[in-house]
Amino acid sequence: MLPAKQRSVVLANRIASGTCRNVNYVSKLFQPQNIIPKDSKVKKEDSLSKSQKLMQDLGVIHQAGTGIFHLLPLGERSLQKLINIVDDEMRKINAQKLLLPLLTPGELWKVTGRWEDLGEELFTLKDRHDKEFVLSPTHEEAITELMASIPQLSYRQLPLRLYQVTSKFRDEIRPRFGLLRGKEFVMKDLYTFDVSADAATETYKTKNMITVEECAVSAASGVMGGSVSHEYHFPANTGEAQLFICESCGYVASVEKCPPSQCPECSHGFLQCCCGIEVGHTFLLGTKYSLPLKARFTTAGGNADFLQMGSYGLGMTRILAAGVEVLSLPNEMRWPTALAPFTVCIIPPKEGSKESVVTHLAEELYYRLNSVDCFRNDLIIDDRCNMTIGKRLLEARRIGYPFIVVVGRKALQPVPEFEVHHIFSNVETSIAESAIVEYLKECLLNK
């Protein structure tokens, strides 16, 4: 093995020449940040939510227009992590993934009545043949038309659960707060098909259909229709939704659903008002769509009957922003650990410092951690070694990497140690080089 100093030089040369493969480096990351002079005044800054300001300033999203955003590499990584979580949960309930077209024939929306009900919220267009289409804000019409087109759909094929993760479009009258309320957003929508109203109700009661453990709120069905509806919220002061919570039994309802004072559930508790960010919405639809679009199946008795449907929507990009909104400090982004773009950021010594002789330990730690399943491709090295450790540490904290490992002066000791910064607990711990992998693994699994 080469002496430590020579290994450091070799690593520095490999980084400079780009020959280090399969390693994520901050210097190679496309992350255009907003650098604002202290004496400048940002217009309408008060209108930005905390999550929008942090995500824009730190290069997670970039505004492309009013209510429209580029999802940059850090943001896309977080979204993909959330999609992976959803896919895992959907497999548990035997849901099958598909992809429906973003364009839906306008005629379907007219048949269900939602062309008029949604009105100006719909993005509509015509093709060269003068046929009308909807740039879908949701896909009930599309999925129901698909089911209606299947000949001889049998009760033996039911229940059926189909879901997708895709972009949606809504012509918001007042888009704001970044990913919390935009004109284009990413959703997971699950559609269920059952043989009877009772079976559909049992399906609806399955808690993990929505894959969100936050506050479930009894809500009005609105233009979606159906007999039962629930919203899912992250409690937050900046939330636009007004919620009422019973101080006695814990009943929660939206302002559209709820009386102003006395609880309708227990009849003696009083309702208190709070705010929330809606991240999911579920509906027991019944035959709201299957009846007008003629989506039937053959029963055990050989008769034709209409499919009983449920719809389970989850705002994926909204969850990213809501998590940041709820957890972050005013000037430091915080992610739910499972959604952080990278779980661990490794900071090697500044070039030319006396600690630079142990720079190689940063890459060695990267490869050791990368061999562990829970860290694979979830690490990044801040290789901008022309900058001080302090400056890179400050930036890593602002971006919100859950664990930051510094290869600093303690790495020069006879028994090298690394500084581990736990961002959520704001605790710094010194851990021996030989124990660092198991330590981080335990921290992650016990988060």
Q: Which two tokens stand for residue 55?
A: 């995500």
Q: How confident is the model at residue 218 (pLDDT cuts 50, 70, 90)?
A: confident
Give the domain extent around 311. 77-324
The pLDDT assigned to 205 comes to 86
Give the span between the Cα atoms of 181 and 172, in whole angstroms: 8
Q: pLDDT at residue 430 above 90?
A: yes
Asked whether the beta carbons of 360 and 8 are under 8 A apart, the reply is yes
CATH of the domain at 143: 3.30.930.10
* Residue 177 and residue 299 in one domain: yes
E strand or H helix at 337 = none
Q: Over the chain, what is the mean pLDDT?
A: 90
Indicate whether 2 belongs to any domain.
no
Cβ neighbours, 10 Å, residue 165: 20
The pLDDT assigned to 217 comes to 80
Q: pLDDT at residue 3 above 90?
A: no
For tokens 């959604």, what's the residue? 339
E strand or H helix at 400 = none
Q: How confident is the model at residue 90 (pLDDT cuts 50, 70, 90)?
A: very high
Indicate whether 296 belongs to any domain.
yes
pLDDT, greater one: 439 or 223: 439
Q: pLDDT at residue 414 above 90?
A: yes
Burial track 317-343 (b if 16+ CB lie within 10 A, e otherwise): bbbbbbbbbbbbeeebbbbbbebbbbb
* Strand runs labelled E in 251-395: 252-254, 271-286, 296-298, 304-306, 308-315, 344-347, 379-381
Indicate whether 99 belongs to any domain.
yes
* Residue 315 and residue 350 in one domain: no
Indicate whether 257 belongs to any domain.
yes
Domain boundary among 280, 297, 324: 324
* Residue 85 and residue 215 in one domain: yes
Give the span between the Cα atoms of 121 and 142, in whole angstroms: 18
Domain boundary among 292, 324, 356: 324
Q: pLDDT at residue 378 above 80?
A: yes
Q: Which long-range contacts (CB under 8 A, 24 or more apart) does 365-371 make?
A: 365/405, 365/407, 365/418, 365/433, 365/436, 365/437, 366/23, 368/437, 369/344, 369/437, 369/440, 370/22
* Residue 191 and residue 223 in one domain: yes
* DSSP three-state, residue 189: strand
* Residue 304 and residue 371 in one domain: no
Mean pLDDT of 114-118: 95
pLDDT, greater one: 260 or 262: 262
Indicate whether 337 belongs to any domain.
no
The pLDDT assigned to 253 comes to 76
Number of folded domains that form the chain = 2
Q: pLDDT at residue 2 above 80?
A: no
pLDDT, greater one: 81 or 207: 81
Backbone angles phi, psi at 228, to 5 degrees: -135, 145
* Residue 172 and residue 318 in one domain: yes
Q: pLDDT at residue 40 above 80?
A: no
* Residue 265 and residue 409 in one domain: no
* DSSP three-state, residue 348: coil
Q: How confident is the model at residue 1 (pLDDT cuts 50, 70, 90)?
A: very low
Indicate whether 3 belongs to any domain.
no
Asked whether the beta carbons of 135 and 123 are under 8 A apart, the reply is yes
Q: Which of 198-207, 281-290, 315-324 shows the lowest mean pLDDT across its residues?
A: 198-207
* Residue 101 and residue 127 in one domain: yes
Asked whether the beta carbons of 313 and 281 are under 8 A apart, the reply is yes
Indicate whether 394 belongs to any domain.
yes
Q: How confident is the model at residue 356 (pLDDT cuts 50, 70, 90)?
A: very high
Q: pLDDT at residue 437 above 70?
A: yes
Q: How distant is the alpha carbon of residue 57 from its chain centre?
A: 19
CATH of the domain at 381: 3.40.50.800
Q: Regarding beta strands 379-381 and 344-347, do their DSSP bridges make them parallel or antiparallel, or are they unpaired? A: parallel
Domain boundary among 298, 324, 350: 324
Percent of the chain with pLDDT over 90: 74
Give Cα separations from 29 to 61, 83, 382, 422 (angstroms): 14, 22, 10, 23
Indicate whether 364 belongs to any domain.
yes
Determine the residue type at 157: Q
Determine the residue type at 335: W
CA torsion 116→121→125→131, rounded to 10°?
-20
Q: Residue 260: is the preceding peptide bond cis (ω within 30°)?
A: no
The pLDDT assigned to 18 comes to 47
DSSP letters for 406-432: E--GGGGSSS-EEEEEETTTTEEEEEE
Give the span between the Cα atoms of 447 and 429, in whole angstroms: 16
* Residue 303 and residue 381 in one domain: no
The pLDDT assigned to 276 comes to 86
Q: How confident is the model at residue 433 (pLDDT cuts 50, 70, 90)?
A: very high
Region at 148 (left for phi over 0; alpha for psi -120 to 50; beta for the rest): alpha
The pLDDT assigned to 7 comes to 52
Q: pLDDT at residue 173 above 60?
A: yes
* Residue 420 and residue 378 in one domain: yes
* Residue 151 and residue 278 in one domain: yes
Q: pLDDT at residue 64 above 60?
A: yes
* Residue 346 and residue 260 in one domain: no
